[in-house]
Structure 1
Amino acid sequence: MKYFFKNANLVLEQKTVDLAVCDGKIDFVSNVEEGNFDKVVDLKGKMVLKGFCDLHTHLDKALISTRVANRSGTLAEAIAIMSEYKAKMTDEDIYERAESTLLMCYKNGTRFLRTHIDVDKNIGIRSILVMKELQKKYRHLMQIQIVAFPQEGIVDKPQNYQALDQALAAGADLVGGIPVNDLDPQKHIDMVFKLALKYNVDIDMHIDETDRADCMTLLQLAYTTISMGWQGRVTAGHCCSLAANPPEIVDSILEKVHMAGIKIVSLPSTNLYLQGRGDTCNIRRGIAPIKRIYQEHCIPTALASDNIRDPFNPFGNGNLLETALIAAHGCHMGGNDDIDLLFDMITRQPIEMFGADYHIYEGEEADFIIIDAATPGEAIIAQKRLYGYFRNNTLNF
């Protein structure tokens, strides 16, 4: 089959082209005879890209909000619920929920996904092994990275730390962390770095998911990253405490973060839901100041789904256009430039942070999505979904 796509808007390359697909390969063409193609589609400026990148999810926890209830809606209760629920999870349960969520994300255009998977003395590395199966099964549809994540802490918990080590030995792609869950956050960070060096893997930590202004393990993470020579290989998720501090303090911290080459992922839906629970008036939003992080400090910044219908967040559809719209509301980002930046935070920036290439090249395998919109603003504000996608020499509408 030979396909001809007229007026394809390669939004991340900022150009409109006529695009042919012959024998599953991309060819940029002009002045062609349309009759030479089996199928001709005039995209009329619809956006074409390799797909969205969801850089922070929890597929092992997804879709259990109908089974267990977080009555207080707090982070502490969510962790306690999951700690108890994990002990009861079967491999089949983990597989079924993770697969359903993964396919939900795929249908909404995600083609690159990173998932944080719990490891500890109770669950061991069972969830990691399940995700390895799914990673292999769906490698033709989506690139998946697995983060071994010690939700329950590791300081003075040798069995949890052993599970984290075993997860990396079993093939987890990155090592995670959550320093505020241990009484000694710096020791937690140091222990995670020890494993990162041992297995030569990147780090992706949950950082400062709290409203406390004085809780700033992000700064400790930056210092440690520099001292360990791991610049450019560390990602910090959440960073909610930045929102509780004045600009001068935030700027001083972000200067060090920039020096350390740390990348930041904001999770607007979950943090709008969890943060500010202790406030009785002027309730805080708790979202990291993403516009300041990127524009003032040139720190790579992404938006991601985080929790999808679990005790941490009963909402979520694995839809990054929805996530971008939530961030637009929560971060006061409504101008055209703001919307373009939010789109960049679910496409170009996270794809680069993932370690992939967002460009569409002539001669490469044809694998792209088509959004039913001509601009990021139209896609995000009107919540335009996939118009179609092309892969394996097949056009899907």
Structure 2
Amino acid sequence: TTKPKTHELLQQALEQGANLIGGCPYKDDNPDQHIEMIFDLAEQFDVNVDFHLDFDLDPQGSSIPKVVEETIKRGYQGRVSIGHVTKLSAMDKMKRGEMAGLLKQADITLIVLPATDIYINGSNYEALIPRGTVNANQFAALGLNTTISSNNILNAFTPYGDASLIRMANMYANIAQLSTDDELTDTFDMITKNAAKLLAVKSDIIVGAPATLIVLEAKSAVEAIRTNAQALAGFKNGKQTFCNEAAYICFE
């Protein structure tokens, strides 16, 4: 981003209607300047901000304080999200708590990307390979908005996937070693109402709300996560977009 041509292309995209801007400070020679420039563009075009942040297992050198500083300085509380942030998984409990406090102060959403985080991090280890994935439930318990998503699907960074957020939540729950119904309920929230909050869309099923929903082969949120429930049907603004037949036992 600190390269003039990249900055020019970002500005051009925003002028042509892009409604969000993202940054990747850890890939820049000057991460702080990168963050400032992203916020400059965000303010200029009044768009929200997302950062791929702190994507390694070194607990030192986090960019969270800088992002928090710029968020508060520019009045962008509630308009910023950060993804990966795997450095958090390498920090001790006290340091993680300190970072959580900063993120809460700035009302920044934490996005965990378990498929990429576990695939990339620790690839240079030959034994006791670290998970490299943040336990988002710990941050949700402190009042942060937390979500789960997929960084990529079927590419070099994430060579697996089918765009199912239920599968991603199930994978995350295994990695984070979650087991209780309460933990899994919170996990389900991360791919539903928490994500809706981040995107500023309504998520309640009420009369008059947009009929955009997924029907799952499960009786509860907890069952959906535990069984990696299949999606039976999807609707977008009242129009059905796909369907799957529910599983059944065949008898000859």
| One-letter code aligned to 1:317 | D
Structure 1's 393 and 315: CA in aligned 2 closer, same or farther, altered over 3 A? closer
- Provide the residue aligned with 1:294 in structure 2: 140
2:170 counterpart residue number:
325
Q: Say if 1:173 and 1:380 are closer, same or farther in 2 by CA, change over 3 A.
A: same
Other-structure match for 1:385: 230
| Count of residues paired in the alignment | 242
Tell me which structure has the larger Cα radius of gyration: 1
Aligned to 2:95: 249
Aligned match for 2:40, one of 190, 194, 210: 194
1:345 aligns with 2:193: no
1:212 aligns with 2:42: no
Q: Would the alpha carbon gap of residues 239 and 395 (structure 1) be closer, same or farther in structure 2, given more than 3 Å must change? A: closer
Distance in 2 (alpha carbons) for counterparts of 1:255 and 1:362 = 38
Matched with 1:266 is: 112
> For residues 388 and 276 of structure 1, do their structure 2 counterparts lie closer, same or farther at Cα, with a shift above 3 Å needed?
same
* TM-score (structure 2 length as normaliser): 0.91
CA distance in 1, matches of 2:87, 2:212: 39
Indicate yes or no: 2:206 matched with 1:361. Answer: yes
Flag the structure with higher strand content.
1
**Separation in structure 2 between the aligned mates of residue 365 and residue 324 of structure 1, nearest angstrom:** 24
Query: Contact (CA 8 Å) 1:177, 1:206: kept in 2 or not?
Result: yes
2:98 is aligned with what amino acid?
A: S
Pairing 1:98-177 to 2, within 5 Å after superposition: 154-155=1-2, 157-177=3-23
Over 3 Å counting, the alpha-carbon distance change for 1:212 and 1:358 in structure 2 is same
Of structures 1 and 2, the one scoring higher in RCO (CA 8 A, sep 6+) is: 1
Deviation (angstroms), 1:289: 2.4
Shift of 1:226: 0.9
Deviates more, 1:341-350 or 1:218-227: 218-227
**Normalising by structure 1, what TM-score?**
0.58
Q: Residues 207 and 238 of structure 1 are in contact (CA less than 8 Å); yes or no, is this contact kept in structure 2?
A: yes
Structure 1, unaligned runs of 5 or more:
1-153
Match of 1:20 in 2: none
Paired residues of 1:366 and 1:393 also in contact (CA < 8 A): no
State the AA in 1 paired with 2:91. N
2:77 aligned residue: 231
Tell me if structure 1 keeps the 8 A contact 2:48–2:80.
Answer: yes
Q: Does 1:222 align with 2:68?
A: yes
Shift, 1:281, TM fit: 2.4
In the TM superposition, what whole-angstrom CA distance separates every residue of 1:268-318 from its partner, at most 9, and x where no partner exists? Answer: 0110100012323222111122111111x2110000011101011111110
What code does the residue aligned with 1:386 have?
A
Q: Shift in Å at residue 188 of structure 1?
A: 0.4
Alignment correspondent of 1:15: none
CA distance in 2, matches of 1:346, 1:332: 18
Against the structure 1 CA distance between its residues 340 and 393, is the aligned structure 2 distance closer, same or farther, given a 3 Å change threshold? closer
Q: 1:338 to 1:181 in 2, by over 3 A?
A: same
Deviation at 1:363, TM superposition (A): 3.4
Shift of 1:345: 0.6
| Contact preservation (8 Å) 2:233, 2:241 | no
Question: Which residue of structure 2 lines up, in the alignment, with residue 280 of structure 1?
Answer: 126
List runs of 5+ in structure 2 lacking aligned partners. Answer: 245-252
Rounded to whole Å, the distance in 2 between the matches of 1:393 and 1:214 is: 48
Kindly indicate whether residue 154 of structure 2 is the aligned counterpart of residue 309 of structure 1: yes
SS in structure 1 opposite 2:66? helix
**C-alpha RMSD of matched pairs (Å):** 1.7
TM-superposed CA distance for 1:368, in Å, is 3.3
Q: CA deviation at 1:366?
A: 4.0
